[in-house]
Structure 1
Amino acid sequence: MVKNKQIFPITKGLYETNEHVNPFYLANPIYSPSYISFETALAYYDLIPERVYMIKNATFKKRKKKRFETKFGIYTYQDVPPKAFPYGKEMIEVDGYMYLIAKKEKALLDLLYDTKPIKNMKEMREYLFENMRINELILDTFDKQLCSDLKNLYHSRNVDLFVNMLLKGRLYD
C-alpha cells in the first residue's frame, strides 16, 4: 500500500491516506499529548508576519525536545509547565480533520516561557515588537482575563512581566 501510494508513512505505525492532508492535523497524533503552539500558532493567528516552516508543538513532562521529519512537514515538540498545559487551547476542524491549537494568548505565553530571560519592560517591548514583529492590532484583542488566569501556572519571569504590562496598559509606553 505504501509502494502504491495508497497510504503515506508518517512515523512508525502511523500512516495517512490523504496525500494533501492539512499538516496541522498530524501534529497531535505524531506525539501526544500535544497541541500546536509557539511561532506556528502565532503565525496562524497573524500575530507575526513571518511564515513558519516547522510545526512547533507544546507537550509536558517529556524532559527533552523531539523532532519528526515527515513527508508532510517537520514537527517539533517541547515542554511547557504541566499546570499550564491543559488550559488555553481550542479544537479546530478543517475538512473533517481536527487538531488542537493554543489560543493566541497561550501561544505567546508558551513562547515567552521558552525564551531566555527578559530583564525589563524596555527589553520586553524590543522582543515583542522588533524581534518577533508582533502585530499590535491583534495583541490589542488579547483576552486579559485568560492571560491573568494562566500567568501563575508558568512560574516564569517573562510571562509575569508580559502579563503585568498587558494588564496595566504598559505595552506601548
Structure 2
Amino acid sequence: MIKTTDMIINELSIYASPRTKLSRMVKKGEIFPIIKGLYETEKSTPGFLLAGSIYGPSYISFEYALSFYGLIPEAVYTVTSATFEKKKSKKYETMFGTFTYRDVPSEVFPLGLKIMKEDAYYYRIASPEKAVCDILYTLPPASNVEELHLLLNDSLRIDDSDLMKLNTVTIIELSKHYHSTNMKRLCILIKRLHKSIE
C-alpha cells in the first residue's frame, strides 16, 4: 500500500517521536521509501502500480504501454508515463525501478485511457491506440507516409499486423487533438493498410 509521510506519522502518533520510529522502520525494512514523502508497505510491489502516485497527474503510456500490449517485442523496464503542461521531462530512480514522464497536449491527456485494477491498486494506462499516438507525438515529424511507416516498423518495431488491429476510428478521433504531422500521416497509413487487404 502507498502511504505518504503524513499518513504514517499520524499512524505512529502513539510514539514519543513518530519520525524517529519511521526512520527505524525504514532501516529494518518494514516500510520502503519510493521518493521523498512517499512510501510503500510491500517491497515486492511492481513499479508500474506506483507510477501515478510518484508524479502526476499522469498515466502509463509510450514504450511501457506498447510493451504491455505486445505491440513491440522488447521488454521495457523503465515505466514511461504521460503528463501535461509540465514543460519538461522528469525521471525518478527508485528501489522500485526507473520512472520517466513526458508531456502530451493537454486537450488529449484525458482521452483514450483505461483504468485498471490489480489487487488493491488502481492505475491508468493509455489504450493501444493512444500509446501509439503519444509516442509518435514525441518523435520528430516524418517527411512522408512512407517514412512514418519505416519509423513504426524499423525504429519502434511495430508490425503491420499489429497496426491493423488498432481501431481506425479511434486513431482518427485522437489525431485531431495532437495537431501533429505524424498523427495525420498515421491516419493515412492505417487507411492504406486496410485498403491493401480489401
TM-score, normalised relative to structure 1:
0.95
2:134 counterpart residue number: 110
Consecutive unaligned residues of structure 2, counting only runs of 5 or more, are 1-24
CA distance in 1, matches of 2:105, 2:78: 22
- Aligned pairs (5 A) from 1:3-152: 3-152=27-176
The 8 Å contact of residues 83 and 153 in structure 1, kept in 2 or not, is answered as yes
- SS class of match (1:67): strand
Give 1:163's match in structure 2, choosing from 187, 191, 195. Answer: 187
1:118 counterpart letter in structure 2: A
CA distance in 2, matches of 1:23, 1:47: 20
Distance 1:18 1:171, change over 3 A: farther
2:130 counterpart letter in structure 1: K
- SS class of match (2:177): helix
1:71 counterpart letter in structure 2: M
The structure that is helix-richer by fraction is: 2
1:168 deviates by 4.0
Give 1:153's match in structure 2, choosing from 170, 177, 184. Answer: 177
CA distance in 2, matches of 1:167, 1:157: 16
Once the two structures are overlaid, the 10-residue window that deviates more, 83-92 or 163-172, is 163-172
Whose RCO is larger (CA < 8 A, sep 6+)? 1
Give the length in aligned residue pairs. Answer: 173
The 8 Å contact of residues 48 and 132 in structure 1, kept in 2 or not, is answered as yes
Q: Deviations over 1:57-100 (max 9, x none)?
A: 10000000001110011000010000010000101112221111
CA distance in 2, matches of 1:149, 1:48: 23
The 8 Å contact of residues 67 and 76 in structure 2, kept in 1 or not, is answered as yes
1:44 deviates by 0.3
Distance 1:172 1:30, change over 3 A: farther
CA distance in 2, matches of 1:59, 1:108: 15
